[in-house]
Structure 1
Amino acid sequence: MTPFPRLACFLLLGLSTLLGAAPKPNIIIIMSDDMGYSDLGCYGSEIETPQLDELAANGLRYTQFYNTSRCCPTRASLLTGLYAHQAGIGEMTSDRGAPGYRGDLSRNAVTIAEALKPAGYRTYMSGKWHLAKQLKPDGDKFNWPLQRGFDRFYGTIIGAGSFYDPWTLTRGNKAITPEDDPEYQPETFYYTDAISDNAARFINEHDSEEPFFMYVAYTAPHWPLHALEKDIEKYKGRYDDGYEAIRKARYERMKQLGVIQEDWALSPAPGSWSDLPEEQRAWEARAMEVYAAMIDSMDQGIGRIVDALENEGEFENTLILFLHDNGGCDETIGWVKREKGRPPRAPMSPDELQTEMFPTHTRKGQPIVYGKDAMPGPATTYMSYRRNWANVSNTPFREYKSKNHEGGIATPLIAHWPKGIAAKNELRHRPGHLIDLMATCLDLSGAEYPEIYAKHRIQPFEGQSLKASFSKDEDPDRILLFEHYGRAAIRDGNWKLVRLGVNKPWELYGLEKDRSEMNNLVAEHPEKAAALEELWTWHAWRTRIYPKPGDGK
């Protein structure tokens, strides 16, 4: 290089330093598992979530953000910026043969981690992966986190299991147990704490000369209802008045907070507390106490992640996004007693891997009780909180996890970034979707989205960046698509067409006045319903919802 160009380079470098070119932000996406729209304090709940509430009070809350209604497709869509079928996870992690249903994250998609690494980002993940059909520790790991762009990983490859002895617990690519992990030995192992603590550790050990992207995927409060007694104690007696009282109180708070509109109706409850026998009420109240404690524990862990950012001087320039993977879960897990008098057995050795989603014994050899013979919470129980409490979680909406009515797909989204979001405690009513997270990360990082990656042609991402909404609310003219096991929906502006199954009739709603989906307008607007059905079908072929496995459509 001749002296003049070299001098020019030095001058330009010095000028950019004097002008204080802003460093690229760190980005942390935090996701909970099986939580309803109203389960956070800042969205109307009585559950104590002070850490998330504070992030919301110093940032933004989005009121019309969407997931895909189920864990696997949500994770695929979040990480790739594609609709789940385009990413190969149209249903769950089993290969159904059709292009959109291969059960593995597509090689024609890149993850946010893969996209951001060329822009100088370090990439970390702590928590639930659930994007690969191969789970064995000695099998091909081509679709595990380290092979999909993450530099460090701690968590589980599968979607559910005991919080005291997780199935497929993994560090990097190595299968571990809570007892034989040399890098993390708390006094009491609890998976929610482990996810938080390892995320905080990644921050503490990060080289601050580089920006980082981190994905924290909690399993809380997904079944089984497992929580530490110290956290359960806080909620003793809080749910003794039953479903309807809690739901009505949430509904009123949500209107006061502005996260729902005054004229949106409260959808009907599926059951009545007064119809339950007294013994059943005690068990049901305990179930919700444990569920609340699981969320409380997650919130405490998010506080430790924030503390790590502050201690490392990274808090001001870190965008934190928090959301749920689907709505409240009405699945009935563990309510039927499986076996009577199951005897204890010998404890598992420290290096013996947990290989079952529904274990029969704890690591200590204690029998696990299924059914209402024991109150939920400890490692010796395994059950869910069922439909009536899920209906409370989804206040004021209809339906649940795996459905595409608002109760299944509506999620809070909290955005906090001191250096990039000047707004404090503001709401954003912009409709948005998981597909927007890739676009946002690319926009903020300056990363180039590849056309070819690892010799595979990459599909264009589908989303829109949230960056402009950090400054002011928007109302983008867009179409959002949903499908899971034949349950389908399309949102076009404030119109929404939705069905509960392939053989179920389409329903039409005007969401501006009826987001609770109480007034089906198909009979009043048949032309609109027909047009939206045609539009949904066109996009279904475009995004690999079709062809369906086995039938060519």
Structure 2
Amino acid sequence: MKKLTLCIALIFGGASALVAQSNKPNIILILADDLGYSDLGAYGSEIATPNLDRLASEGIRLKQFYNNSICAPTRASLITGQYQHKAGVGYFSNDLGLPAYQGYLNAESLTIAEVLRANGYVTATSGKWHVSGKGKSLPWDRGFDFVFPREEKNSDSGAPTFKEATDAAGYPLESSFSTEVINRKAEGFLDQIKGQDKPFFLYLAHTAPHWPLVALPQDIAKYKGYYDKGWESIRRARFKRQKELGIVDNTTTLSIADEDIYDWERLSFDQRQQWARKMEVFAAMVDRLDQTIGKLLQKLKENGQLDNTLIVFLSDNGAPAEDLVRWFHGARLNSGPVGTVGSFESQSKNWSYASNTPFRAFKDYTYEGGINAPFIAWFPGKIASGIKKGTGHIIDLAPTFYELAGAIYPKEYQGHQANKLPGKSLLPVLFNQQDTVTREEGLFWERAGNRAARIGKWKLVSTWPSYKWELYDLEQDPSERKDIAAQHHDVVSRLSTAYFRWAKDNGVVEFAELESKEPSSMKEFRESKVQEIAAPAFRF
């Protein structure tokens, strides 16, 4: 116990830190859905995000923070600290017939809520869960004292379902808008426990800004005309701001555009207006997400909970490439204009190309655009402001929280042998002078046949159905423009050997053996391309 108290004291510094053992910090983990690397003002965006920008400027931003490229696998790793296959969600929230691909959390992968509750915390979650299945691994069974929404019929489907009231034009009302409701339930939890002596853990999992594109009309109005210049202009403006902010090094070059990104200048006036409207609505969704975080901060302040609370904000993956006009014949499902509750539209690949500035590719891919997302950590008076390289991963958050809370991670839990934690504590990066996570073994990814390995500056990538390895030097080429595998066979061999060792240890199966079990809807998602809004003549 003396060593534990001393560890916490060293983290916080000063004589006052000696009370940390009896005054454990509150922890709030906020997850955005489908938010791209450059979609916050603090990461280069033109979208108004003053509350997150405040947390970023007063706290720490990481240039590199990795996820699992898509929602359910990311959530599985985030909430357990395990690689997604080890946790049972290797593919998605679908059961493909193998333990690593059962589609919901297994009992051996303990959640942050289970561990912290056993160590004296009150726990709550509000929003999207997406790691249950077959009536198992429901949030109230996995360590959470307070759960919203507590509806078993929705427990396996991912996002919570809300009945959103609308105005005469079909736009949602603020009182029932999903982003507001999710946040309001979290505020209610804070009110409910404000008189308790126990610390709390709040997992706030927003559905914004995931499609369909639906937003409040007053938020959409703020961005009228903002996007009339097109995605290439927005992308370059964001890239310039990123360099000014220090999020991107001055030597970085923009990634090469996919060949099916449209040429804005060759679109008709009506097409430009339709595309600009989509991004106006997307920006409004991000704006409102930020507004609710401002309300959460105000609630913490009113309740006297703010000064002893660590807040971590991140996104589950990069911005998406899916085009709802093609996928599920989305255009036929529209019962109202984009932005209204009747909308079944997405920002699609063209705007996501700007959202993921300066990186290559999108959600579901293992290039940086799919797996590298914003990361902000804020703890008033404890975390110094700054920008660091970081090179963290979602598997690192569980050990970080446990060390910060002085929590014991058990070898066994409710009769199950607990999986060991593969991640590293981020405390040396967040609180001390360390610039990056020390990780000699590297990091690894696999999702529906898309694979990657990173050790040091080197990153190996292959994209399904190809098995060809590509190699990138992320120090010289963070936007993955030049494959140098042919020049470094020794590096390819070393990283691929490490990858296959990791794959074996985590139950990863070659995707060719699983493809026949893949749901047709998910196959459509993986193969969706932006092809039907404009004719091929409009492309680069």
Q: What TM-score bracket applies, with the shorter chain setting the length?
A: 0.7 to 0.9
Look up the SS of the partner of 1:255 in the other structure: helix
Alignment correspondent of 1:152 = 146
Does the 8 A contact of 1:317 with 1:419 survive in 2? Answer: no
Gaps of 5+ in 1: 1-15, 135-139, 170-176, 180-185, 343-359, 361-367
Q: Which amino acid aligns with 1:506?
A: W
Q: Which amino acid aligns with 2:343?
A: T
Aligned equivalent of 2:249: 261
For residue 289 of structure 2, what is the aligned residue in structure 1? 298
Q: Using the TM superposition, give the Cα deviation of residue 339 of structure 1 relative to its aligned residue in structure 2, in angstroms.
A: 9.7
Using the TM superposition, name which of 328-337 and 506-515 deviates more: 328-337
Q: Deviation at 1:548?
A: 5.5
**Aligned residue type for 2:115:** A
Aligned to 1:497: 460
Equivalences for 1:21-36 in 2 at 5 Å? 21=20, 23-36=23-36
Q: Which has the higher helix share?
A: 2
Name the counterpart of 1:240: 228
**1:202 is matched with which residue?**
189
Partner of 2:410: 450
1:533 and 1:205, CA in 2 relative to 1: closer, same or farther beyond 3 A? Answer: same
Aligned ranges for residues 169-188 of structure 1 at < 5 Å?
188=175
- Kept after mapping to 2: 8 A contact 1:132/1:143: yes
Query: In structure 2, which of residues 426, 450, 457 is the aligned counterpart of residue 466 of structure 1?
Result: 426
Q: CA RMSD in A?
A: 2.3
Residue-by-residue CA offset, 1:76-108 (whole Å, 9 max, x unaligned): 000111000000000111111122101111111
Give a deviation string over 1:257-307, Cα, whole Å, max 9, x none.
111111111112332111211111101000000000000000000111111
Residue pairs, 1:92-103, within 5 angstroms: 92-103=92-103
Partner of 2:487, secondary structure, is coil
Residue 67 of structure 2 contacts residue 74 of structure 2 at CA under 8 Å; is this kept in 1? yes
Corresponding residue for 1:79? 79
Residues 1:338 and 1:467: Cα distance change in structure 2 (over 3 Å): closer
Range that drifts further, 257-266 or 398-407: 257-266
Aligned partner of residue 431 in structure 1, secondary structure: strand
Note the 1:70-469 alignment, pairs <5 A. Answer: 70-134=70-134, 140=135, 142-155=136-149, 157=155, 167=161, 188-206=175-193, 207-269=195-257, 270-334=261-325, 368-369=334-335, 375-421=337-383, 423-424=384-385, 426-469=386-429
Return 448-457 or 221-230, whichever deviates more: 448-457
Q: Per-residue displacement from partner, 1:339-392 (whole Å, max 9, x unpaired)?
A: 99x9xxxxxxxxxxxxxxxxx6xxxxxxx43xxxx5310112111111110110
Q: CA separation in 2, counterparts of 1:400 and 1:189?
A: 31
Q: Deviations over 1:14-35 (max 9, x none)?
A: xx99964551000000010001
CA contact 1:437–1:465 (8 Å) conserved in 2: yes
Give the deviation of 1:420 after TM superposition.
2.3
The question of whether the paired residues in 1 share the 8 Å contact of 2:252 and 2:478 is answered with: yes
- 8 Å CA contact retained: 1:32, 1:325: yes
Letter in 1 for 2:423: G
Listed one character per residue, the Cα deviations across residues 32-79 of structure 1 (whole Å, up to 9, x for unaligned) are 000110000000000110000001111100111101000000000001
Q: Which residue identity is paired with 2:312?
A: L
Contact 2:174 2:216 in 1 (8 A): no
Mean CA deviation greater in 41-50 or 498-507: 498-507
1:429 aligns to what SS in structure 2?
Answer: strand
Q: 1:244 and 1:145, CA in 2 relative to 1: closer, same or farther beyond 3 A? A: same
Q: Percent identity?
A: 42
Task: Tell me if the contact between 1:160 and 1:222 (Cα under 8 Å) persists in the aligned partners.
Answer: no
The CA deviation string for residues 206-242 of structure 1, in whole angstroms up to 9 with x for no partner, is 1431100000001101110000101100000000000
The corresponding residue for 2:450 is 487
User: By how many angstroms is 1:160 displaced?
Assistant: 6.2
| Matching residue's letter, 1:201 | G
Q: Which residue of 2 aligns with 1:364?
A: none
Instruction: Report the Cα distance in structure 2 between the residues aligned to 1:496 and 1:390, rounded to whole angstroms.
Output: 23
- CA deviation profile, 1:133-159 (whole Å, cap 9, x unmatched): 23xxxxx3x311101110011136356
Q: State the AA in 2 paired with 1:379.
A: V
Partner SS state of residue 430, structure 1: strand
SS in 2 for 1:482: strand
User: Distance in 2 between the 1:249 and 1:42 partners?
Assistant: 14
Structure 2 CA distance for partners of 1:514 and 1:549, relative to 1, 3 Å: closer
The one-letter amino acid of 1:449's match is Y
Q: What TM-score comes out, normalization by structure 1 length?
A: 0.83
Instruction: Give the direction of change, closer, same or farther, for the CA distance of 1:264–1:339 in structure 2 (3 Å limit).
Output: closer
CA distance in 2 between partners of 1:114 and 1:496 (Å):
34
Query: Equivalent residues in 2 for 1:60-71 (5 A)?
Result: 60-71=60-71
The answer (yes or no) to whether the contact 2:130–2:155 under 8 Å persists in 1 is yes
Q: Which amino acid aligns with 1:153?
A: V
Q: Give the drift of 1:197.
A: 0.9
> Relative to 1, partners in 2 of residues 1:187 and 1:226: Cα closer, same or farther, differing over 3 Å?
closer
SS at match of 2:374: strand
Tell me by how many angstroms 1:338 deviates.
5.3
User: How far apart are residue 431 of structure 1 and its match?
Assistant: 0.9
Q: Are the equivalent residues in 2 in contact too, given 1:429–1:473 (CA < 8 A)?
A: no
Shift of residue 473, structure 1, vs aligned partner: 2.9
Task: Name the count of aligned residue pairs.
Answer: 483
Distance 1:551 1:326 in 2: 23
Change (3 A) 1:453 1:339: closer
- Contact 2:38–2:356 (8 Å) recurs in 1: yes
Give the Cα separation in 1 of the matches to 2:499 and 2:412.
Answer: 29
SS in 2 for 1:320: strand
Structure-1 separation of matches of 2:29 and 2:514: 37
Rg larger in structure: 1
Cα pair distance change 1:442/1:278, threshold 3 Å: same
Aligned to 1:345: none
Which residue identity is paired with 1:461? L
Offset at residue 539 of structure 1 (A): 0.7
CA contact (8 A) 1:243 1:272 kept: no
- Quote the offset at 1:132 in angstroms: 1.3
- Name stretches of at least 5 consecutive residues in structure 2 with no aligned partner: 1-14, 166-172, 516-540
Deviating 4+ runs (over 6 angstroms): 16-19
Instruction: Specify the code of the residue in structure 1 equivalent to 2:476.
Output: K
2:58 aligned residue:
58
- Structure 1 residues 273 and 540, CA gap change in structure 2 (3 angstroms): same
Tell me by how many angstroms 1:418 deviates: 1.1
Q: What secondary structure does 1:205 align onto?
A: helix
- CA separation in 2, counterparts of 1:516 and 1:312? 44
Whole-Å Cα distance in 2 between the matches of residues 150 and 518 of structure 1?
44
